[in-house]
């Protein structure tokens, strides 16, 4: 992300914090209430915002402010101590964690499919994309919707001779990390070329500023296709492609196919793990957990105590909100592991 963009995000975050309190991050107001600031991923933002609003309604003394600004910015703000917690679809690397005092606990509080949503006038039915097809689209080697590699998996469908306009994220994005990690796992040309990362050099396409901008660009431009969270696409009524998985099956993006993918690969003890190319006929091929980033040793007893209760709500009662917003409820083993991790967080 350009330096100017990062600076503007920091200014926006600082203003948001100032509107909640005058004494900085994790503050205690004069009336004894606690304000907790978080920032990061846009992918899970609708669910986080509902959780934090509902928790505040039940516990008026605790206010959680969350600024949806991208995983990269969330990691930066958390690392620099400008946010009490961060949020990232890519978790954090060991190198990033080493820069944070007090240690970091990664908590995968929800999960979702990363889908390919598109705008294809005149096409009806379920668009099916092979692994070669959707990798080729984002590599820039497949440039028209009537390309034979797309037509072969859509027999009998009328595909227009229309230029494909792939859309990718502009700034450092956890969703980009998940998508490019998957492309690297299934396509050697992608692995050797752009590779995986929160920001890569894209061979083709236009840039979107975030999930909402991705939706707007797809809606606006005929022939476009872009990657985003299932919930954002579902809410915006964007059509989503059926993708070929490791078993060769074309799978509809759904909560059930996402759950099948997650169940194919248990998380490790540190709760940081991905499923870049899941096993199983019914598994949707691009699915991910998304993480909250919290201090193992907060340094502020009141903030730590309040945040721990919020986190417990997120992985217990809050899970009931997942399906309605397009997210996958956590597997029971993951929930139990997270509750233990939350209990271990110290002031």
In this prediction, residue 11 carries a pLDDT of 43
In this prediction, residue 32 carries a pLDDT of 72
Phi and psi torsions of 225, nearest 5°: -150, 140
Give buried/exposed letters for 38-75 (b at 16+ CB in 10 A, else e).
Answer: bbbbbbbbbbbeebbeebbeebeebbbbbbbbbbbbbb
Per-residue confidence at 300, pLDDT binned at 50, 70, 90?
A: confident
In this prediction, residue 26 carries a pLDDT of 53
In this prediction, residue 12 carries a pLDDT of 46
Q: pLDDT tens, 15-72?
A: 444 443 333 345 444 457 999 999 999 999 999 999 999 999 999 999 999 999 999 9
Q: Which of 20-24, 258-262, 271-275 has the lowest mean pLDDT?
A: 20-24
Q: What is the mean pLDDT of the chain?
A: 91
In this prediction, residue 142 carries a pLDDT of 98
Q: Give the number of other Cβ atoms within 10 Å of residue 171's Cβ.
A: 22
In this prediction, residue 101 carries a pLDDT of 87
Would you tell me which CATH number, out of the four given (1.10.1670.10, 3.40.50.970, 3.40.50.1980, 3.40.190.10), belongs to the domain 3-111+288-343? 3.40.190.10
3-111+288-343 and 113-287 have identical folds: yes
In this prediction, residue 7 carries a pLDDT of 43
Q: Give the start-to-end residue ranges of the domains of the chain.
A: 3-111+288-343, 113-287
Q: Is it the case that residue 258 has pLDDT exceeding 90?
A: yes
Rounded to two decimals, what is the model's pTM?
Answer: 0.88
Collapsing DSSP to helix, strand or coil, 284 comes out as: coil
The CA-atom distances, in angstroms, between 206 and each of 39, 56, 169, 322 are: 25, 39, 8, 31
Going by their DSSP bridges, the two strands 85-88 and 287-295 should be labelled as: antiparallel
Per-residue confidence at 299, pLDDT binned at 50, 70, 90?
A: confident
The answer regarding whether domain 113-287 maps to CATH 3.40.190.10 reads: yes
Mean pLDDT of 10-17: 44
Q: Token pair of 122, please? A: 């005149």
């Amino acid at each position: 992300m350009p330096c100017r963009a990062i600076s503007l995000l920091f200014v926006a975050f600082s203003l948001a914090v100032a509107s909640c309190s005058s004494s900085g991050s994790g503050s205690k107001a004069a009336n004894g209430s606690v304000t907790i600031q978080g920032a990061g991923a846009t992918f899970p933002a609708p669910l986080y915002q509902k959780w934090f609003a509902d928790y505040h309604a039940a516990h008026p003394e605790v206010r959680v402010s969350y600024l949806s600004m991208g995983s990269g910015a969330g990691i930066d703000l958390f690392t620099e101590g400008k946010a009490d917690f961060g949020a990232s679809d890519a978790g954090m690397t060991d190198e990033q964690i080493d820069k944070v005092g007090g240690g970091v606990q990664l908590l995968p509080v929800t999960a979702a499919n990363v889908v390919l949503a598109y705008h294809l006038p005149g096409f009806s039915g379920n668009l099916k994309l092979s692994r070669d097809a959707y990798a080729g689209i984002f590599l820039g080697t497949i440039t028209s919707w009537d390309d034979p590699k797309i037509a072969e998996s859509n027999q009998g469908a009328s595909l227009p001779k229309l230029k494909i306009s792939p859309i990718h994220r502009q700034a450092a994005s956890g969703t980009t990390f998940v998508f490019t990690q998957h492309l690297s796992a299934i396509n050697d040309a992608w692995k050797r070329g752009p590779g995986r990362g929160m920001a890569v050099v894209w061979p083709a396409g236009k840039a979107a500023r975030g999930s909402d901008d991705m939706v707007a660009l797809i809606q606006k431009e005929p022939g476009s296709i872009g990657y985003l969270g299932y919930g954002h696409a579902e809410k915006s009524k964007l059509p989503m492609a059926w993708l070929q998985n490791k078993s060769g099956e074309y799978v509809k993006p759904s909560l059930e196919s996402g759950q099948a993918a997650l169940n194919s690969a248990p998380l490790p003890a540190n709760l940081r793990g991905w499923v870049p190319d899941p096993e199983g006929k019914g598994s949707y091929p691009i699915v991910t957990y998304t993480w909250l980033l919290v201090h193992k040793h907060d340094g502020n007893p009141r903030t730590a105590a309040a945040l721990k209760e919020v986190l417990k709500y997120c992985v217990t009662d809050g899970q009931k909100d997942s399906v309605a917003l397009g997210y996958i409820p956590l597997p029971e083993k993951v929930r139990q592991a997270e509750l233990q991790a939350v209990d271990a967080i110290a002031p």
